[in-house]
Amino acid sequence: MSMINRHRLAETFEFLASVDSVSRHEAAISAEIRKMLAPFSADIVMDRAGEKTGGDTGNLIARIVGNRDVPPLMLNAHMDTVEPGVSVKPQFNNGVFTSDGTTVLGADDKSAIAIIIETLRVVNENHLPHGPLEIVFTVSEEIGLLGAKYLDFSLLSAKYGYALDTADTECIITRAPAANHFEIQVHGKDAHAGADPEKGINAIFLASNAISSLTLGRIDAETTCNIGVMEAKGATNVVPNLVQLKGEARSHDEDRLEQVTHAIVSAFETVAADYRKEKQSGDLPRVDVLVERDFSRTLISEDHPVVAMARQAAKNMGREILPKRTGGGADANVFFQKGIITGVIGTGMKDIHTVRESIRLDDMEKTVRLLLEIIALHAGGQYLS
């Protein structure tokens, strides 16, 4: 589709990548995106999610009036990046964007923003048929999908759409796991490790015993578990009296997720209870546990219009897009929970969350073409009930 301005797409991405927007600091990029959206919509609002995330701005929502009478379609990307993400200097060589090697590039997820902006420009410039569009750019996605969790959903009326937030341009993610976040504190008793170790209760030792009884990593085909943080402060001559652990469990099966989460908590509680019983040590050691639902699962049937439109759009381009399962979470998980069926499509970004991150301009252009095809199919109304 020659209507796409490849040079403009590259310039837009390069500009966005150069604007700092690590999580909770998206105000600057939000202001720039708002300027880019202004030609397409007079209805651009910012919600108050920033007040709840501790950030400097909220989610940005643009509602674009359609020229076809069909239900609205949502397009989503997130504005924040991970660290190291300050003073990004994008490089472009041989059709590939990278950073200078000292920071991430920010293709996750600024490639998606650039793709959506270019798509809207092509639609607008060429007066293409399109239904109502709701563009949602979120904050603080990288630190727990916080922008989506605090999004003012009263601002949206779309019941389905697409999030651009994965690497593979040949797939649409239809299944993503639910996740539980847990924090565990193991309370022991301090004592001098040389003079009176018998008087202490070593919290590190107890936590290690509990961990050694667990299966971590991939539990089964649908379930994973990880302890990512274990922290104790003190000195080598003091029996440690406190260990704090943080981790997560994920599964595509809700029952299995609860079983694994329960097994983790039970392992720590059992170690503490066995010690108290054996040593007659009163109320120590003690375990405090906090378990929170991080996000719920996504499960989209393969005959849903969101999947059918994406697959037909690809077919129209001589490509194939296949439904895919992922182990990661995205804003789409939160949208799905809120009743907005959201498929995740790829932009071509590679080695995300590293200083080796890169993206090919060809892949971004390919995804613009896909979105234009989806918007055309959506405008036709044949996939809508």
Tell me, yes or no, whether 347 lies in a domain: yes
Q: Out of 14, 26, 47, 80, pick the active-site residue.
A: 80
pLDDT at residue number 149: 97
Structure tokens at 222: 């649908």
Structure tokens at 64: 């674009």
Residues 333 and 226 both lie in one domain: no
The amino acid present at 121, given as its one-letter code, is: R
Q: Which domain holds residue 255?
A: 179-294
Q: Which residues 6+ apart lie within 8 Å of 315 measured at CB?
A: none
pLDDT of 95 over the 50 cut: yes
Q: Mean pLDDT across the chain, nearest whole number?
A: 96
Q: Which residues 6+ apart lie within 8 Å of 208 measured at CB?
A: none
For 272-296, write each residue's pLDDT tens digit: 999 999 999 999 999 999 999 999 9
The rounded distance, in Å, linking the Cα atoms of 36 and 124 is: 12
For 158-175, write each residue's pLDDT tens digit: 999 999 999 999 999 999
Tell me, yes or no, whether 141 lies in a domain: yes
Residues 68 and 13 both lie in one domain: yes
Final residue of a structural domain among 266, 294, 322: 294
Final residue of a structural domain among 246, 279, 294: 294
141 among known catalytic residues: yes
With b meaning 16 or more CB within 10 Å and e meaning fewer, what string describes 331-369? bbbbbbbeebbbbbbbbbbbbbeeeebbbbbebbbbbbb
For 174-198, write each residue's pLDDT tens digit: 999 999 999 999 999 999 999 999 9
Q: Band of the pLDDT at 210, cuts 50, 70, 90?
A: very high
Classify residue 153 by burial, with Cβ atoms within 10 Å: 0-12, 13-18, 19+: middle
How many distinct structural domains can be found in the chain? 2
The rounded distance, in Å, linking the Cα atoms of 322 and 21 is: 32
pLDDT of 14 over the 90 cut: yes
With b meaning 16 or more CB within 10 Å and e meaning fewer, what string describes 69-82? ebbbbbbbbbbbbb
Q: Which residues 6+ apart lie within 8 Å of 372 measured at CB?
A: 1, 3, 4, 119, 122, 123, 128
Of 168, 232, 229, 227, nearest in space to 204 by CA:
232
CATH number at residue 277: 3.30.70.360
The amino acid present at 217, given as its one-letter code, is: G
Residues 203 and 273 both lie in one domain: yes
Tell me, yes or no, whether 265 lies in a domain: yes
For 103-142, write each residue's pLDDT tens digit: 999 999 999 999 999 999 999 999 999 999 999 999 999 9
CATH number at residue 57: 3.40.630.10
pTM of the predicted protein model: 0.92
Q: Cα–Cα distances in Å, from 245 out to 78, 149, 257?
A: 29, 24, 19
Tell me, yes or no, whether 1 lies in a domain: no
80 among known catalytic residues: yes
pLDDT of 339 over the 60 cut: yes
Residues 68 and 206 both lie in one domain: no
Q: Which residues 6+ apart lie within 8 Å of 271 measured at CB?
A: 206, 207, 209, 210, 213, 285
Q: Band of the pLDDT at 2, cuts 50, 70, 90?
A: low
Q: Band of the pLDDT at 1, cuts 50, 70, 90?
A: very low
Find the mean pLDDT for residues 255-271.
97
Any idea how long the chain is?
385
Tell me, yes or no, whether 385 lies in a domain: no
Cis peptide before 56 (omega within 30 of 0): no
Residues 278 and 141 both lie in one domain: no
Residues 32 and 156 both lie in one domain: yes
pLDDT of 343 over the 50 cut: yes
pLDDT of 306 over the 90 cut: yes
Which residues are bridge partners to 192 per DSSP? 238
Residues 171 and 28 both lie in one domain: yes
Final residue of a structural domain among 294, 318, 334: 294
Residues 168 and 191 both lie in one domain: no
Distance of CA 232 to the CA centre of its chain: 29
Find the mean pLDDT for residues 229-248.
97
Find the mean pLDDT for residues 241-249.
98
Q: Are 129 and 51 in contact (CB under 8 A)?
A: no
pLDDT at residue number 383: 80
pLDDT at residue number 385: 55
Find the mean pLDDT for residues 365-377.
98
Residues 125 and 56 both lie in one domain: yes
Residues 10 and 52 both lie in one domain: yes
Q: Out of 26, 109, 141, 331, pick the active-site residue.
A: 141
Cis peptide before 72 (omega within 30 of 0): no
Tell me, yes or no, whether 39 lies in a domain: yes
Cβ count within 10 A of residue 275: 18
Residues 327 and 217 both lie in one domain: no
Residues 78 and 112 both lie in one domain: yes
Tell me, yes or no, whether 365 lies in a domain: yes
